Amino acid sequence: MCGIFAIFCPAARRLPDDAPARLERALESIKHRGPDARGTHIDPSGRYALGHVRLSVIDLAPCSNQPFWSSCGRFVLSYNGEIFNYLELRAELEKEGATFRTASDTEVLLVAMMRWGPDAINRFNGMWSFVFGDTATGKFLVSRDRWGTKPLFTYQHNGSFILCSEAKGILAWLGSTPKPNPNAIGLYLKYGRAGANEESWFDGIERFPQASYQCIDMGSGDSGTVAMARTMRYWNYPTERPIRDLAEAKERMESLLTDAIKLRLRSDVPIGLSLSGGLDSAAIAALVGSKFHLGLEAYTAWYEPREQSELPLAQSIAKLFGHKSTDVPEPSHEKLLLDLRTCIYHLDSAHAASAIVPYLNLCRAARKTLTVMLDGQGADELLGGYHPFKLFAGADHLMRGRFGSASQCVRAYAHSAGWRNVILDCLRFGSTSVYERQALRWGSQRILCRESMDATPDRLDRLRLSRSNFREALEFSHSVNLTNLLQSGDAISMSVNLETRYPFLDYRIVELGFSLDTELLLQKGFGKYVLRECADEILPHKICWRRNKDGFGNSTARIIREIVQQHGLPAAAVERALDFQLFQPSIRDPKIFAQLPENIQFRLYSTLVWLDVFYN
């Protein structure tokens, strides 16, 4: 797990004379991603430069540092991530006559790209963003993993193409900061989206698309811009759901999840667990203990009151399967604002979930003993774990004339969310115009500028007159909402040099999940039904069949509300926001802020913190 930087210049332009200093400045800004080694390469002809900071996880020897060159000196790789099936790929490549001089997954990726070209990408089981180059032909390839687990920002500037693991690396190379992007900020303030958007919060800086690659040709003449082919998508979600037998689904899910964990236990550094009281992380902890007979360090974040948090359940799971439980309480109120600022700096934006603060502290605690941590992220989006999925499943049953099943789904949702929210969500998901009006219901027209007010996502969850509402909601959640969470997970864990791995994001499990009939995902009012059936044989009943899904509870938003009530909004940041025409002057009125919902207050305050961090 690392950080990468690259810049490609057109033939009519060369790297600036101070390129070495700029490159070091860019790598210095992302040094938290790779504290173990740093490497650079600047093309002698001045056409491109590569940089890398390394967190050593597989093959700790210096010979695996990057940029990594082929033994012939022709091919080069700068790579961030892990290819978990690298041993299997290595054996396959060796059968084809390839030889290796390191024990790293980095070299396997390089040789696979040399041998198989872009076809190699779909064979990788892991998470990555990388730049692979053939220096003899001047052709390079950029790629990002299927779910966008590993970040990659891009910027086109004066005909050049710049990319980096974090936007701040691009800012450091430029030596300046582009103006804020009001559309991206509006999507966050209105809809809570930050990491799932193609646009970053900095005007002109974008995120490289997930599940995609792009070719760059440095030898294509004397053009004033870098020659780039169109972005190619190498993976798509399955379109059919042929598996309808529960026994088959259970057998395949348990087998694949066990193998996914086995691959993600490969590490030359200490590895542990993030453990809540929920089903997903508990299933991973159970399989690690029962199948692989490993007792690992397990970290659990909790909040007061202790007995109402998930800590007691997490501790019971750790004890049952031989793991050592370490609890991580919420930070003090005095420390909370500094921690929020730290999160926003590493995210390069704000985030809608206040849980980023306790997650930062969990990662800090884990990093004292671990370098790699297994996490349960991805199961809810894949297998229908979130409560609103019941509404979409109910709509499908209704369209099939299954009134009893439809009623059961809706009543199960009402049990968790209340009937008022059932009605509001039916209106919101049933009409795009209602959805957009609800995004403004907190009075944003009194606060936001016109550009932010007009921000509308490309896609929204929708209830339609069809039998595929649940299927479409699952794909939307996995391809959009999950990306938002993965962005924060990577940025915050890597801020303390901690690699997080997600067994439920093994592409084989995702393909299986999207091949299961949706009725295997939600039955009797329970989401993730097939996973519950799998886990029922090893986990306590109260874990497998708990109806209420607790979020990552914390008091961050409430404390910020109290602080603003006492001290007001940060005045300098407010004025900066007005200078950029992000907000209207009414933002200065404390009465207007006090009338906002707590979650909107958190978003507004976080936006002001972002402005203070990057434009101070």
Instruction: Specify whether 90 is located in the same domain as 218.
Output: yes
Looking at the fold, whether 534 and 599 belong to one and the same domain comes out as no
Residue 528 shares a structural domain with residue 593: no
The answer, yes or no, to whether the previous bond of 329 is cis (omega within 30 of 0) is no
Q: Are residues 538 and 560 in the same domain?
A: no
Are 540 and 560 in the same domain? no
Task: Give the C-alpha distances (Å, rounded to integers) separating 253 from 508, 525, 530, 572.
Answer: 10, 20, 8, 53
Q: Which two tokens stand for residue 127?
A: 């998470």
Round to whole Å and give the CA distance between 514 and 309. 32
> Which residue has tokens 């193998």?
259
Residue finishing a domain among 207, 233, 259? 233
Question: Does any domain span residue 85?
Answer: yes
CB-count exposure of residue 44 (10 Å: 0-12, 13-18, 19+): exposed
Instruction: Give me Rg for the CA atoms of the chain.
Output: 24
- pLDDT tens-digit readout, 386-432: 999 999 999 999 999 999 999 999 999 998 889 998 998 888 888 88
The reply to whether 53 and 199 lie within a common domain is yes
pLDDT at 464: 87
Strands 297-301 and 324-328: parallel
Report how many domains make up the chain.
3
Report how far Cα 100 is from the mean position of its chain's Cα atoms: 32
Average pLDDT of the residues of the chain: 93
Element holding 19 (H helix, E strand): helix 19-29
The pLDDT value recorded for residue 377 is 96
171 plus 290 within the same structural domain:
no
Q: How far is Cα 580 from Cα 177, in angstroms, rounded to an integer? A: 13
Residue 551 has pLDDT above 60, yes or no: no
> 27 falls in which pLDDT band (50, 70, 90)?
very high
19 and 97 in a single domain? The answer is: yes
Q: Which two tokens stand for residue 221?
A: 């003449």
CB atoms within 10 A of CB 444: 19
Q: Answer whether residue 383 is part of any domain.
A: no
Q: What is the pLDDT of residue 221?
A: 55
Structural domain containing residue 288:
246-376+489-544
Q: Which residue, of 203, 233, 263, is where some domain finishes?
A: 233
Task: Choose among 460, 412, 401, 410: nearest CA to 432.
Answer: 460
Cis peptide upstream of residue 238 (ω within 30 degrees of 0): no
What pLDDT does 428 receive? 87
Give yes or no: residues 563 and 529 share one domain: no
Q: Which residues contact 368 (CB under 8 A, 6 or more apart)?
A: none
In the chain the first and final C-alpha atoms are separated, in Å, by 30
Give CA angle at 609 (191, 437), nearest 5°: 20
Per mean pLDDT, which range of 263-267, 303-307, 333-337, 603-607 is the poorest?
303-307
Do 534 and 574 fall within a single domain?
A: no
How high is the pLDDT of residue 446?
84
Backbone angles phi, psi at 157, to 5 degrees: -145, 120
Going by C-beta distance under 8 Å and a sequence separation of 6 or more, which residues neighbour residue 401? none
Which of 206, 233, 260 marks a domain boundary? 233
| pLDDT over 70 at 550, yes or no | no
Say if residue 189 is in the same domain as residue 321.
no
Residue 392: inside a domain, yes or no? no
pLDDT higher for 505 or 333? 505
What would the two tokens of residue 266 be?
A: 């490969």
Sheet holding 499-501, edge to edge: 324-328, 297-301, 271-274, 372-374, 499-501
- The enclosing domain of 102 has a CATH number of 3.60.20.10
Domain presence at residue 433: no
Q: What is the pLDDT of residue 444?
A: 78
The length of the chain is 616
> For 61-70, 327-336, 582-591, which range has the lowest pLDDT when averaged over its residues?
327-336
Indicate if 105 and 142 belong to the same structural domain. Answer: yes
Question: How large is the average pLDDT for residues 466-474?
Answer: 93
Please indicate, yes or no, if residue 105 is contained in any of the structural domains: yes
Burial of 537 (0-12, 13-18, 19+ CB in 10 A): exposed
